[in-house]
């Protein structure tokens, strides 16, 4: 039997594929783009367990032509158009809706015809309001008010996933990811906005000062391989008590903590810009509670120090200096 991962050559997707293959899954790495050399190199130790398939999941007929020999019994739907930029929403709003919602409908239609054990939809912390909720921690059962096309389509896809499960007797679940950082983040046609720690580690490996704009805040960061392992934990759990799980570190990180971690890992690092000066950063984004995830026995392996250290080491060894 095999696990199908959509968006499998992307940032989070390639780490999901790697983790599943490492833990013994036969993985179908499906993406609209061919697997580039960078992805193949990252996955090379486990390539005997991976089938690379190029397919546009907006084309339902193309999905229907996937070989029956794959024997798919689990699906991780991670394909996404990641952008919250207002300009991108204006210029490419329909494609955001098509990729983030329409493709989910196609995948669920495809899934309901299979003898499936579980369908896992990869959602986002973007479904929560941008600024912190009273009390800090954001729980899966609180009222939601996404305000971007990205957040709206992710929330709508969660509802679609749950309803398809109810209608067709499928085991379905959604997971909400906080900000990821780590190996394989890069610009693609579907990932237009790089994370802050991508830019910071790029400065380190290039030997350049790290520019911190005014108003920069901390955040709810989690090392991407920990995210992938958390997703595997939910996917492979014998039974689930909830239909939505937050996936994150479980505590917020201040800007000062992030800077301190980089100085600890790279003592000579330089921070520049108005945001690097001590001061009141203003209201921070809330952080996501992971009580449900802990019920499944999951604990993140990396803190911010070990995550930054491993990320920088990967950038240098790969090498990836962009």
Does 36 share its domain with 49? yes
Tell me which residue range forms the domain holding 272: 184-220+252-285+303-317
* CB 285, CB 225: distance < 8 Å: no
The verdict on 90 and 123 lying in the same domain is yes
User: Are 239 and 23 contacting, i.e. CB atoms less than 8 angstroms apart?
Assistant: no
- Distance (Å) of CA 192 to CA 79, 87, 168, 247, 283: 14, 12, 35, 22, 25
| β-strand partners of 6 | 30, 77
**pLDDT, tens digit (0-9, with 9 covering 90-100), for 95-112:** 999 999 999 999 999 999
- The CATH number covering residue 192 comes to 3.90.25
Domain co-membership, 11 together with 108: yes
Mean pLDDT of 13-39: 97
CATH at residue 135: 3.40.50.720
Same-domain check for residues 50 and 135: yes
The total number of structural domains in the chain stands at 2
The gap between the terminal CA atoms of the chain, to the nearest Å, is 38
Residue 294, domain member (yes or no) = no
The answer to the question of residue 51 being in a domain is: yes
The pLDDT of residue 67 is 85
Is the pLDDT score of 274 beyond 80? yes
R_g of the chain, CA atoms, integer Å: 19
- My answer on whether 83 and 206 are in the same domain is no
Task: Band the pLDDT of 84: cuts 50, 70, 90.
Answer: confident
Residue 291 lies in a domain: no
Please check whether residues 124 and 55 belong to one and the same domain: yes
- Does 292 reside within a domain? no
* Residue 191 and residue 157 share a domain: no
Q: Which tokens hold the place of 57? A: 């999941």
| Residue 295 maps to a domain | no
In whole angstroms, give the CA distance from residue 266 to residue 208. Answer: 12
Render pLDDT for 135-153 as a digit per residue (tens, 0 to 9): 578 999 999 989 999 999 9
Whether 240 is in a domain gets the answer yes
Q: DSSP H helical segments within 112-210, as ranges?
A: 149-168, 196-206
Q: Give the residues across from 124 on adjacent strands.
A: 177
Q: Which residues contact 313 (CB under 8 A, 6 or more apart)?
A: none
Residue 39 lies in a domain: yes
If asked whether residues 28 and 167 sit together in one domain, one would say yes
Q: How far apart are CA 111 and CA 73, in angstroms?
A: 9
Does residue 137 sit in the same domain as residue 196? no
Q: How far apart are CA 263 and CA 261, in angstroms?
A: 5
* CA atoms of 182 and 197, how far apart (whole Å): 8
CA dist 180 and 163 (Å) reads 28
Q: How far is CA 175 from CA 195, 234, 246, in A?
A: 20, 8, 6
Under the banding of pLDDT at 50, 70 and 90, the label for residue 200 is very high
Contact criterion met (CB below 8 Å) for 224 and 180: yes
204 & 233 share domain: no
Tell me the residue ranges of DSSP E strands in 264-307.
271-272, 287-288
Does 31 share its domain with 166?
Answer: yes
Q: Tell me if residue 241 falls in helix, strand or coil.
A: coil
> pLDDT-based confidence at 283, cuts 50/70/90?
very low
- More reliable by pLDDT, 131 or 139: 139
Residue 295: band (very low, low, confident or very high) from pLDDT cuts 50, 70, 90 = very high
H/E stretch holding 15 reads helix 11-22
Q: Summarize pLDDT for 202-256 with one digit per residue, the tens.
A: 999 999 999 999 888 888 999 999 999 999 999 999 999 999 999 999 888 999 9
Would you state the pLDDT for residue 88? 86
Q: Indicate whether 142 and 27 sit together in one domain.
A: yes
């Amino acid at each position: 039997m095999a696990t199908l991962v959509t968006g499998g050559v992307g940032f989070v997707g390639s780490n999901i594929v790697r983790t599943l293959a490492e833990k013994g899954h036969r993985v179908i790495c499906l993406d609209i783009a061919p697997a580039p050399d960078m992805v193949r190199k990252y996955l090379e130790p486990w390539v005997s367990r991976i089938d690379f398939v190029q397919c546009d999941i907006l084309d339902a007929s193309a999905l229907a032509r996937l070989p029956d020999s794959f024997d798919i019994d689990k699906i991780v739907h991670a394909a996404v158009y990641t952008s919250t930029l207002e300009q991108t929403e204006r210029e490419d709003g329909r494609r955001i809706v098509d990729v983030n919602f329409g493709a989910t409908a196609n995948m669920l239609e495809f899934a309901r015809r299979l003898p499936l054990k579980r369908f896992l939809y990869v959602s986002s912390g973007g479904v929560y309001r941008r600024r912190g909720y009273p009390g800090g921690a954001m729980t899966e059962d609180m009222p939601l008010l996404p305000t971007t096309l990205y957040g709206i389509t992710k929330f709508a896809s969660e509802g679609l996933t749950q309803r398809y499960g109810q209608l067709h007797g499928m085991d379905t679940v959604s997971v909400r990811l906080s900000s990821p950082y780590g190996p394989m983040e890069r610009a693609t046609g579907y990932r237009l906005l790089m994370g802050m720690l991508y830019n910071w580690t790029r400065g380190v490996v290039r030997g350049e000062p790290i520019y911190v704009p005014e108003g920069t805040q901390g955040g709810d960061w989690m090392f991407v391989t920990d995210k992938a392992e958390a997703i595997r934990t939910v996917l492979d759990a014998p039974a689930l008590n909830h239909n939505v799980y937050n996936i994150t570190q479980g505590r917020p990180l201040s800007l000062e903590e992030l800077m301190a971690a980089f100085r600890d890992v790279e003592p000579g690092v330089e921070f520049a810009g108005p945001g690097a000066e001590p001061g009141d950063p203003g209201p921070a984004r809330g952080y996501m509670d992971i009580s449900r995830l802990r019920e499944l026995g999951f604990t993140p392996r990396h803190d911010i120090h070990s995550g930054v250290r491993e990320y920088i080491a990967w950038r240098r060894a790969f090498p990836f200096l962009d």
